[in-house]
Chain A
Amino acid sequence: MIPSREIFFNIVPAGVIAAYVLMIIPIGLLAYGLARRVRRWRLGQAENRFDQMGHRIWNMVRMSVLHGRIVRTRNLYGGIMHAAIFTGFVTLLIGTLIVMVETDFTVPLLGFSFFHGNFYLGFKLAMNVGGLLLILGTSMALYRRLVLRPATQQTSGDDLLLPATLLILAVQGFVQQALRLAMTQDPWAAWSFVSYPVALALQGLPMDVLARLHQLNWTVHLVTALVFIGYIAYSKMIHPFTALANVLMRRIRPRGELNPIPNMETAENFGASKLEHFSWAQLMSVDACMHCGRCLEYCPTFNTGKALRPRDLVLEIAGLQADRGGIFSGVLGEEANTGRFRWGRGGERELIGGAVSTEEIWDCTTCGACMEQCPVFIEHVPLIVEMRRNLVMEQNSFPQELAPIFTSLERLGNPYQNVPAERADWTRKLEQPVRQMSEVVAAGETVDYLFFVGCLGSFVARNQKVTLALTRILQNAGISFAILGKEESCNGDPARRMGHEFLAQQLAMKMVDKMNAYNVKKVVTGCAHCFNAIKNEYPQLGGNYEVIHHTQLIDELIAAGRLTLNEASDITQEKVTYHDPCYLGRYNGVVEEPRRALKTIPIVNLTEMPRNRKHSFCCGGGGGKAMMKDQSATRINQTRAREALATGASVVAASCPFCMGMLEDGIAAVDEKSGVRVLDIAEIVASSLQAPAVTAQRETV
């Protein structure tokens, strides 16, 4: 006897016909919901996301289907939960399709049956495992929503209805199988290891009762499945479509690169004040959000109680889009999805001021923690910058403290109202002079590196010390370099992140022209923001250079034996903790080089803060926030300072002048008497430097 079973066992033909006819309703509703969404996305601006399709598809498979982005060591519970639901659901879906192929295709059309023997036994086993996984995953989801209740999750009706429906579907499936096994005395019943014991317990019931219950349960299982399919497009269950589409179509440029406004002179609008001003891909991305709240885990504004919560911002835009598209309806549609950020509030609202508040827009430090965490690659920062662009460039509406910053950047090329002629004044404190690019070129010579000092390193006394330390390191290692001196200006990063794209492009273009004129090939920066802008954004303007951050260069020099470090220095025996700047670590993946550089100093005892590397916590100074007021009760820099102080370190190592300033202020505010110092890695290394025995000034690394 070959193991198999009758498909549509105990189901009357009318039931089969009804099943096929009824399925057109939910499939139609699903197609309708998807079509409405796609129509909304198509109203967005054009953007090419169809390049490198092979890479995109592989990335989608790796990150989403194989859960590379979902199961992460710092979020194992959520990752395992999703993997269980996904695996269970997909297994059961494939199982249903296999039955359909057998009964509707291979047997009637090809006269070939495969649903028997070992395949059938494996199928039974797989279906039971799939059902168990689905029950496990949905139970974990409900447990998290109802019992664990992490601070990053806000539960709507939708968040409960979906796992509840999936769990009921799985239970109905097991019950259906148990009833059939009880009726048929299936000799291979034990392969259905979940249903079989239940079937044994049911065997006392009369056969006609079992048959009636089997038919009834089959009917309600079918109707539940159809209701579920119909609900997909109107709930977060749409994410298998939208999230996969978003991962497939995600921006594959460096994450630290913002898209420029093309053809600024002829552009009809700047930034986004309407949904249609976002690109189609951005409009699609907000529909991919499934409220998991991972974007909040390391978000500095959420963690300090500010108005901006990246998840809510995305859902506010998604809600407005849904209202405009008239996608949701009825009591269930509205009630299940109404939260403080959701739809049902009217499509007539304005984007800025209606759906999204200006406070949210200006709260963002652009640290990218939300984007780093988002399992479906939603890019929150570009959405915010688009709205900032509109506020600044069209509505002339921005925090008042930014007005003098913009004016200073425009007139003087730095945000601090310093005279450009004073840019190289710090070099007077050096024993060994530093050459300027103009002198080098005039002499018909070349240098290996342009040292892009940056505004803080040039003008602010505290940061000048770092610049001097770095210069001593370069000189000590015999690096051939020069600076732009008074020809240097702001790289444009703060203006760009604050939404003044016109000013940002003006400043960046000036630098690109100058650096190209001097035939610069390699750039070393002392600032994470300069590093990110020149490395990732200058190529947009024709500035293509090999850009290296000073911590990377120091690490290389130490590894190459170009720097010899003393056993003792002024930080002897001190415990040091390192703060990763967002624009260095998170955006550009430079996390190990600074640590290696610190560890090579023999007496440094490096200790880590709980949030480190790509999971670092922002200092609060990015996105122009270092120049804006933070008047909330809990300041971001103080939160980070507390974390640093809790390590017991007496030195906080930094590698970005903005972080340095924010952390110094934070430590002073939290515990002025702690005596904890904030030092740049260049200062720590420079304090340990031995004088070079033989320094070859023109050597290259």
Chain B
Amino acid sequence: MRYGLILLAAGVAVLLMSEAGEWAALRMLAVVLLVGGAIAAGIAGGAHPQSAAYIKRVGAIFSRNAMCAVAILLTAPALAVLAASLYGALVRLTSSNAAGDAPLLILGGVVALILLALASTVVVLGTGAIRGKTPQQPTEKQA
């Protein structure tokens, strides 16, 4: 664990140096140190006898409702942009100066609608799954 943490600390330091001093060449070294440190720390953590208990304690912090809220927050911007795109396509299509772009705007609206529908559906499904709701299989009847 110690080596992992040293690598991580070094990685953060090198990354800050590379960004602050505009030494972009150091960024690759920072990435290597950070990834190496994370892997080393993870492996060392896996060998620690108490690690499962610690992880369990951390995991218990997250309630289902909190996880659902996170899921919605993470998907909301994309849904909003797609809705805006759909609206934008409709507004431009109904305006007088869209004649040349009409086919592409229609296509844009259709793509936005499909993506919006799919993303909305999986948000509902995903939050349902987090809340422990899965579709009822009819029965595992014989094939």
Residues of A within 8 A of B (CB): 13, 16-17, 20-21, 23-25, 27-36, 38-39, 100, 103-105, 107-109, 135, 138-139, 142, 145-146, 149-161, 163-165, 167-168, 171-172, 174-175, 178-179, 194, 196-205, 213, 216-217, 220-221, 223-224, 227, 296-297, 302-305, 309, 325-327, 329-333, 335-336, 634
Contacts and interface: CB of A to CB of B under 8 A. Distances in A.
A168 B15 contact: no
Contact of B122 (A142, A330, A331): A142
A330 B118 contact: no
Contacts of A28: 4, 38-39, 41-42, 45
Contact of A329 (B42, B55, B84, B130): B55
Nearest to A219: B77
A160 B125 contact: yes
Contacts of A202: 81, 84-85, 88
B88 A168 contact: no
B74 A220 contact: yes
B56 A330 contact: yes
A21 B34 contact: yes
Interface residues of B, number: 87
B10 interface: no
B69 interface: no
A145 B134 CA distance: 10
Contacts of A16: 19
A211 to B, nearest CB: 13
A217 B77 CA distance: 6
A31 B31 contact: no
Given A32-B46, A33-B46, 9 more contacts: A20-B30, A21-B15, A107-B24, A142-B122, A153-B137, A171-B119, A175-B81, A197-B107, A200-B108
A326 B111 contact: no
Given A24-B34, A198-B85, A205-B84, A335 B42 contact: no
Contacts of B140: 151-152, 154, 302, 309
A174 B108 CA distance: 12
A35 B43 contact: yes
Interface string B68-79: 001001111110
Given A24-B38, A39-B46, A164 B56 contact: no
Contacts of B89: 200-201
Nearest to B8: A24
Contact of A149 (B80, B111, B135): B135
A167 B119 contact: yes
Contacts of B143: 150-152, 296-297, 302-303
A302 B64 CA distance: 34
Contacts of B110: 197
Given A29-B42, A107-B24, A161 B59 contact: no
Nearest to B107: A197
A36 B48 CA distance: 9
Across the A-B interface, the 5 shortest Cβ-Cβ residue pairs: A330-B59, A326-B52, A31-B42, A35-B46, A197-B108
A315 to B, nearest CB: 13
B118 A304 contact: no
Contact of B111 (A198, A205, A227): A198
B88 A205 contact: yes
Contacts of B91: 204
A415 B124 CA distance: 59
Given A30-B42, A146-B135, A104 B28 contact: yes
Nearest to A173: B78
A646 B25 CA distance: 73
Contact of A330 (B11, B41, B60, B142): B60
Contacts of A179: 81
Contacts of A29: 42
B126 A160 contact: yes
B95 to A, nearest CB: 9
Contacts of B55: 32, 326, 329-330
A200 B105 contact: yes
Contacts of B126: 160-161, 164-165, 168
B137 A329 contact: no
20 contacts: A21-B12, A24-B35, A27-B39, A28-B41, A35-B42, A145-B135, A151-B139, A153-B137, A160-B126, A178-B81, A198-B112, A200-B108, A201-B109, A216-B77, A220-B76, A227-B70, A227-B74, A302-B142, A305-B142, A309-B140
A154 B33 CA distance: 42
Given A109-B28, A154-B140, A20 B74 contact: no
A175 to B, nearest CB: 5
Interface in B115-136: 115, 118-119, 121-123, 125-126, 128-130, 132, 134-135
A460 to B, nearest CB: 31
Given A28-B42, A216-B77, A335-B64, A204 B19 contact: no
B81 A331 contact: no
Contact of B78 (A17, A109, A217): A217
Contacts of B31: 20, 100, 104
B43 A175 contact: no
B2 interface: no
Contacts of A107: 24
Nearest to A160: B129
A20 B13 CA distance: 12
Contacts of A13: 19
